Amino acid sequence: MQIDLKGRLAVVTGGSGQLGRTICRTLAECGADVAVHYHQNQASAEKICAEIEATGRRARPFQADITDETSIKDMQKRIEKELGQPGIIVNNAVIQYKWVPVLEQSLADYESQFRSCVMHNVMMIQAFVPAMIKRKFGRVIAINTECAMQNFPTQSAYVAGKRGMDGVLRVLAREVGPHQITVNQVAPGWMVSENVFDGNSAGQRRYRESVPLRRRGDDQDVANLVAFLASDLADFISGQYISVSGGNVMPTI
């Protein structure tokens, strides 16, 4: 048994970022062609596309503002023209901001998280899912977070955005299920990546001690689940919020 994505086309928002790059590489390693979205980091997007194409898969960089409807629709048209109609969308991009207590958090930060979590997902869905419905196949995968279950101090804007997208995606799973389209969320913990190291600060030690596996995962752990959910092996899994946190958070029944 293996994850086989040959003949599939995936679009990954935030594909030029830390987690996005690993997701793009992993989907390509499983046989998929990849549309690599970026907002500002064109050089990084072009680099990951070159890496993927060196393996024999197709990859192209596509610029868009994931908080703007016209920009997303334009990206969808360009992807369809250059690569075809994606059967897999991975909504990974999110706006970064400074975390502070609710009493100090600016209203603009709440608005940015709403647009980059909730509206980002809605607009990607409206742009790409109609073609999936016609083909009676599709995979919608969104990157959530363990923070949505933790609700720790200073997380409020991020949690508000991620909990909002959770509602949209659960409803979507029911709406598009009859068309054989699955909708799932992958929720990483505090993962190690190319620029986020597993150091020995007090905060990092406390975090590792809170994880039942007593270690931190990395971006590859997240990308592995994304690839599985994109594959036929997961064709009866939908409407799920799946934690990749070593047991640090445990969704309950």
Listed as ranges, residues in the chain with pLDDT below 70 are: none
What range defines the domain where residue 222 resides? 9-244
Residue 20, domain member (yes or no) = yes
The per-residue pLDDT for range 52-72, each reduced to its tens digit, is 999 999 999 999 999 999 999
Q: Enumerate the active-site residues.
A: 158
Amino acid 201: pLDDT: 85
Beta carbons within 10 angstroms of residue 167's beta carbon? 10
The per-residue pLDDT for range 111-140, each reduced to its tens digit, is 999 999 999 999 999 999 999 999 999 999
Count how many domains the chain has. Answer: 1
Residue 251, domain member (yes or no) = no
Residue 1, domain member (yes or no) = no
Identify the CATH number of the domain in which residue 216 sits.
3.40.50.720
Amino acid 202: pLDDT: 85
Amino acid 71: pLDDT: 98
The per-residue pLDDT for range 205-228, each reduced to its tens digit, is 999 999 999 999 999 999 999 999
Amino acid 30: pLDDT: 98
Residue 162, domain member (yes or no) = yes
pTM: 0.96
For 117-172, the DSSP string reads IIIHHHHHHHHHHHHHHHHT-EEEEEE--THHHH--TT-HHHHHHHHHHHHHHHHH
